[in-house]
Amino acid sequence: MRDAGTHYTQPLDKPVLKLDGITKVFPGVKALDAVSFDLRAGEVHALMGENGAGKSTLMKVLAGIHQPDAGRIVHNGVEVRMPTPLAARASGILLIHQELSLSPELSIAENIYLGAWPTNALGILRKRKLNRDAAAALHSLGCDYNPRARVGTLSIARKQMVEIARTQAFNANVVIFDEPTASLTDTERDQLFATIRDLQKRNVAVIYISHKMDEIFQISDRITVLRDGKLQGTVDTADSDIDQLTRMMIGRDLDSYFTRATGQTGPEVLRLEGLGCEGCFKDVDLSVAAGEVLGLYGLIGAGRSELAEAVFGIRKVSAGRIFWMGREITPPSPRKAIDMGLCLAPESRKEQGLVLGMSGRDNITLPHLRDFSRLLMMRRTHETEVFERYRGILKIKTSGPDQRVADLSGGNQQKFVLAKWLCKTPRLLILDEPTRGIDVGSKSAIHALIAELAEQGLAVIVISSEMPEVLGVSNRILTMSDGRINAEFSGAGMTEQALIDAVSAPT
């Protein structure tokens, strides 16, 4: 293995990696403005900041994907340049991507050593050596996966382990995790943390990027906060608290994290009786009224998103009845649901919620082309008016009606999803994980918006895996477990303990 052991001899207080005045300018934006940062061997260093604060750019500079316009990178006491991801990997700096960079059709072993497969002089793979080395790398992480297994057959958590095994294979001394827990269950997250601690024991320095405060406090030793591409400071986790970090991140105090709707509830909008969907959920009874925010809490896989999709008409309903505004209806198609005023902001914003390559304006009007056209011709001025109106109301940060939504932050993308539905004044809005992957500032803006919409008489169903969010925004909460609704809470009965008990109760 290459330069094994060099980092073990580093004294603990001497940084293994030092960034000095890193500046990176993209056309029109200063993504990083003289950011300095140091990383010690054996520490977990959290990197926080709102979306667009420059975290990802900084990490891409480190991993050789972007080249800085100014500044120095000092690695193990030597000033270095990272011209390519390969160079970064060779010097022991490894980025574990948020969207894992694996090839599903290749084997575990081939993925771990991607781009560095052992071959003989003729270019023929030395499969036995490859599999043996991969098994050793996995074994040192406590995993006994078959290195020949196809990566496509693995769960997300295991895929992540395969990426982490690269740290062993390439003897990494700096490992960067970018939002590693975004798609993990609680158990899987605990395993990941155990693995991170294990890396830490081997004197590997870990950079941990996350939006989740509880995780940051659980795993990190120090925290560095970025805002608008500028360094806000580095603090010891033990001496810090959520309020301080929030202030550093958004530059002001958050009045409160959550806003709850306080209006009067009106007539019932949607009622489900014994709704079922084969293999997803069954016997679901539910009703939601105008002006009400109904929370739907449960663990991943409980069937919440499937329920939302069934109501919206994406999934086939196999049993039960649906009542809309008091009248029984047949399960709608998405077109019919939209026309009735039943809208869904789906869980995977990028895949289901938006057409990423299209502009914000075109995304807003996409489901309503009939209303924005005359004799097959689009009414562009009308479209732009609506775009400008919602840009103002929702405070969307975008350069104009033609900017592609792919280039926006998660929070602004979500606002476009909302604008798309709000411009036709819906009656029921189902929000599936409305703030997943969204930074703190935008999060509270979206929470305030939910409350405001409900107070204007809209019925809202909020599906979320984040307990504080469900507790903070809902007037009433249903818990779902194993495809069934198993409890209902309201008022003072809505406590963390009650929700945990409900979703973990044996069914």
Partner 1 sequence: MNPADTNAGAQPEHHSAYRAALIDIVLRNQIWGFLLLAVILFSTASPFFLTVNNLANVLTQGAFIGLLAIGMTLVIINGEIDLSVGATMALALALAIGLQNSGFGPGTAILAALATGAFLGFLNGAVVVLSGMHSFVVTLGGLLGIRGLVFLYTEGDALMIADFTYTELVEIYLGPISLTAMVFLGLIVLFQWVLSNTRHGREAFAVGDNIEAARDAGIRVGRHKIINFTLCGLLAAVCGVLLSMRMGTAEPQAGRIWELWAIIAVVLGGTRLQGGYGSLWKTLGGVLTLAVVQNGLRLLNTPNYVELIVMGGVLILALGLDRILTYKIRAGRT
User: Which residues form the interface with partner 1 (CB under 8 A)?
Assistant: 65, 84-86, 89, 101-106, 110, 114-117, 119, 122-125, 127, 141-144, 153, 161, 187, 191, 194-195, 197-198, 279
Q: Which ranges of 280-333 does DSSP label H, i.e. alpha helix?
A: 304-312
**Contact predicate 40/16, CB 8 Å:** yes
| Least distance CB 124 / partner 1 (angstroms) | 5
Distances (CA, A) of 461 to 16, 30, 305, 500: 48, 39, 11, 20
Nearer to partner 1, 102 or 249 (CB): 102
Contact 475, 488 (CB under 8 A): no
Task: Give me the half-sphere count of Cα atoms (radius 13 Å) on the Cβ side of residue 242.
Answer: 10
Q: How far apart (Å, rounded) are the C-alpha atoms in residues 260 and 471?
A: 9
Closest of 440, 505, 428 to residue 468, by C-alpha: 440
Backbone conformation region of residue 56, classed left if phi is above 0, alpha if psi is from -120 to 50, else beta: alpha
Tell the smallest beta-carbon distance from residue 319 to partner 1 (Å). Answer: 17
β-bridge pairing 459-464 and 293-298? parallel
Select 141 or 494, whichever has its Cβ closest to partner 1: 141
Nearer to partner 1, 144 or 255 (CB): 144
CB of 26 to partner 1, least distance (A): 19
Cα-atom radius of gyration of the chain, to the nearest Å?
25
What's CA 195's distance to the chain center, in Å? Answer: 21
Rank residues 105 and 241 by Cβ distance to partner 1 and give the closer one. 105
Q: Which is nearer to partner 1, 58 or 102 (CB)?
A: 102
Provide the residue type at 332 as one letter.
P
Nearer to partner 1, 94 or 471 (CB): 94
Q: Vertex 213, ends 208 and 215: CA angle to 5°?
A: 55
| Cβ closest to partner 1, residue 66 vs residue 271 | 66
Provide the minimum distance between the beta carbon of 103 and partner 1 in the complex, in angstroms, as a whole number. Answer: 4
Surface-to-core class of residue 460, CB atoms within 10 Å of its CB (0-12 exposed, 13-18 middle, 19+ buried)? buried
Q: Report, in Å, the least distance between residue 467 CB and partner 1.
A: 23
Helix/strand/coil for 178: strand
Q: What is the CA angle 496-498-502, rounded to 5?
A: 120
Residue 87 three-state SS:
helix
| CB half-sphere exposure, 233, CA atoms < 13 A | 12
DSSP 333: P
Nearer to partner 1, 110 or 439 (CB): 110
Structure tokens at 391: 């840009």
The minimum distance between CB 176 and partner 1, in angstroms, equals 13
The sign of the torsion formed by the CA atoms of 167, 170, 171, 172 equals negative
Q: Are 85 and 63 in contact (CB under 8 A)?
A: yes
Report the residue number, 303 or 320, with the smaller CB distance to partner 1: 303
CB of 322 to partner 1, least distance (A): 23
Minimum distance of partner 1 from residue 33's CB (angstroms): 26
Whole-number minimum distance, CB 50 to partner 1, in Å?
A: 25
Q: Which is nearer to partner 1, 116 or 314 (CB)?
A: 116
Q: Which is nearer to partner 1, 65 or 356 (CB)?
A: 65
Q: Which residues pair with 428 in a beta bridge?
A: 342, 459
Q: Give CA–CA dist 316/323, Å, rounded.
A: 16
Cβ of residue 485: shortest distance to partner 1, in angstroms?
A: 20
Q: How far is the CB of 102 from partner 1 (least distance, A)?
A: 6
Question: 29 by DSSP, 3-state: which?
Answer: strand
Do 417 and 435 meet the contact criterion of CB atoms below 8 Å apart? no
